[in-house]
Chains A and B, each alone.
Chain A
Amino acid sequence: MNNNKVIQVEGLTKMFGDFTAVNAITFEVDKGEIFGFLGANGAGKTTAMKMLIGISNPTSGNANVAGFDVFTHTENIKKNIGYMSQKFALYDDLTVRENITFFGGIYGLSRKRIKEKSDALIEELGLQNVANKLVGALPLGWKQKLSFSVSLIHDPKIVFLDEPTGGVDPITRRQFWELIYKAANQGTTVFVTTHYMDEAEYCDRVSIMVNGKIEALDTPKKLKEQFKAENMNDVFLKLARG
């Protein structure tokens, strides 16, 4: 495979009974790219993402994620990707440091490496004063930033972010995107879903799913030209309304 393509998907399909949730989607994502994965509720985004991260078996098609096949090597995929969603992030009843240690342990990092990573991460996020506080006591925005950094603890090739900024205040939302830019700049591929259309503009390329199919895929600039739209919100409304 081409080393620069960290996600390669061809004709990937998922059926539940006679309902086609994901209908033969095809796309590729480059190393270090920020790839926006958009679509209306129920368009099939979550189902597609579950196949890519190796927790749902595709019905047909091909996909290769971080160098591994989604049919046969799901355990390798899980070791080589990071995942963060708004719904499941960190353990509220563990402290900041305990959460980092726990996830570091899950991914098989050595004690020494976990210690180094913890110190670096806590300093980078400015969490020195709350390192031994329970995560449940932190403001949502801090939790989300910490959760993102924890999802990168094992230096994955790709990080999957499922609506990472929902409900977060506008300043923290932007700080969060600065973390995303930084990770991408260091070569990590970022695969992100969002309902904030201004965030779609921050992506290198954006795909829009409608009823199980990818109906558009390009840079935000080209999509706006193609749909004669002023912003990504208009592009989305034009496409998803069908």
Chain B
Amino acid sequence: MVSISVKHISKSYKSVNALQDISFEVKEGELFGLIGPDGAGKTTLFRILTTLLFADEGTATVAGFDVVADYKSIRNSVGYMPGKFSLYQDLTVEENLDFFATIFGTTIEENYDLIKDIYVQIEPFKNRRAGKLSGGMKQKLALSCALIHKPKVLFLDEPTTGVDPVSRKEFWDMLKRLQQKGITILVSTPYMDEAALCDRIALIQDGKILEIDTPEAIVKYYPKPIYNVRANNMYQLINSLNAYEHNHSVYPFGEFVHYTDNRTDFNPDHLKAYLESRNLSNIHIEKTIATIEDTFMELAK
């Protein structure tokens, strides 16, 4: 069954086309990722699907309800964690949670099972005001509040931005557990490594979807052989590769540079000789596998 259906959605602000003809579907119980940088249109899409904003064109349904005609039903069926911390800073942890439970006509006790894993981590601070929590604790409280009415669909707008790798990993472990409880999750992130943790992803930039598929399949769209290149001096290496007339793309990737060539009969030995002529040493060139980030950059070019 389809949990989220988006058909030809467009939205503009003054001179900016925030979303241009966006269409995709998310199945029930799926963990679907919107992967793209700031300004790609992710938040606009979230606001349309959570009935906080009208689209200029197109239609969308969430949990079977139309985002315009049935907006009240949607608000009862979805949980939304905005990118910006939006809880009441002057209420305590427990008061915030109680407030959201009451608004949705439920109690903390009734759905405690769903949030237990997450809430126990912040329960020792339940009398602390939300504004005084650390970033990681705020994030856990916001997620608890978004879940307290047992939503069918959960919208998470950049829940891990600015969060360190350890906390990010813990957060994704929590999402996996929620998914097992049957909740459909639409999550956005600028971190390409998190894309691999989703069932399916849409790569989005400048209001357009570049590609939609599973993380494993999406890297197959990469059109060229890709090489890891390393040398004694990273800065000189990047400059030399950028100056090489046959380059197609040159992107630093950790300890390597990912290099693609625009010739079909590329021979790595020729590149090595060129780099040596530029006074680089310890040159190492080997074929590697494209990552989601490589694919994103190639599609966004």
On A, residues with C-beta under 8 Å from B are: 39-43, 86, 139-141, 163, 166-172, 174, 177-178, 181-182, 184-185, 195-198, 201-202, 220-221, 231-233, 236-237, 240-241
Contacts and interface: CB of A to CB of B under 8 A. Distances in A.
A22 to B, nearest CB: 16
Given A42-B136, A202-B252, A231-B254, A195 B37 contact: no
B165 A170 contact: no
Nearest to A177: B252
B162 interface: yes
Interface residues of B, number: 36
A201 B251 CA distance: 13
B161 A41 contact: no
Given A167-B190, A170-B297, A181-B238, A42 B161 contact: no
Given A41-B134, A170-B296, A171-B297, A197 B165 contact: yes
A163 to B, nearest CB: 7
22 contacts: A40-B166, A41-B163, A42-B134, A140-B37, A166-B190, A167-B190, A169-B190, A169-B205, A169-B300, A170-B192, A170-B296, A170-B300, A171-B301, A195-B163, A195-B168, A197-B165, A201-B255, A221-B255, A231-B254, A232-B254, A236-B164, A236-B165
Interface string B27-62: 000000000111110000000000000000000000
Contacts of B162: 41, 86, 163, 166, 195
A220 B255 contact: yes
Nearest to A232: B254
Given A168-B37, A178-B238, A201 B254 contact: yes
A195 B293 CA distance: 16
B165 A240 contact: yes
A137 B300 CA distance: 21
Complex A-B, nearest 8 residue pairs according to Cβ-Cβ distance, in ascending order:
A169-B37, A201-B254, A181-B235, A167-B38, A40-B164, A198-B254, A140-B38, A240-B166
Interface in B229-260: 234-235, 238, 251-255
B25 to A, nearest CB: 26
Nearest to B300: A171
A24 to B, nearest CB: 22
Given A140-B38, A170-B37, A178-B252, 15 more contacts: A41-B135, A41-B163, A42-B134, A139-B39, A141-B37, A166-B161, A167-B158, A167-B161, A171-B297, A171-B300, A171-B301, A195-B163, A195-B164, A202-B234, A232-B254
Contacts of A241: 166
B167 interface: yes
A41 B40 CA distance: 26
Contacts of B191: 196
Contact of A170 (B136, B163, B293): B293
B161 A174 contact: no
Contacts of B165: 40, 195, 197, 233, 236-237, 240
B195 to A, nearest CB: 11
B220 interface: no
B199 to A, nearest CB: 22
B7 interface: no
A39 B164 contact: yes
Interface string B155-194: 0001001111111110000000000000000000011110
Nearest to A87: B162
Nearest to B257: A174
A182 B293 CA distance: 24
A119 to B, nearest CB: 23
Contact of B235 (A43, A184, A232): A184
A184 to B, nearest CB: 7
Contacts of A40: 164-167
Contacts of A42: 134-136
Contacts of B193: 233
B166 A167 contact: no
Q: Which of A43, A202, A220, A237 has the most CB of B within 10 A?
A: A202
A176 B38 CA distance: 15
Given A40-B166, A166-B161, A174 B251 contact: yes
Contacts of A240: 164-166
Contacts of B161: 166-167
Contacts of A86: 162
A172 B164 CA distance: 21
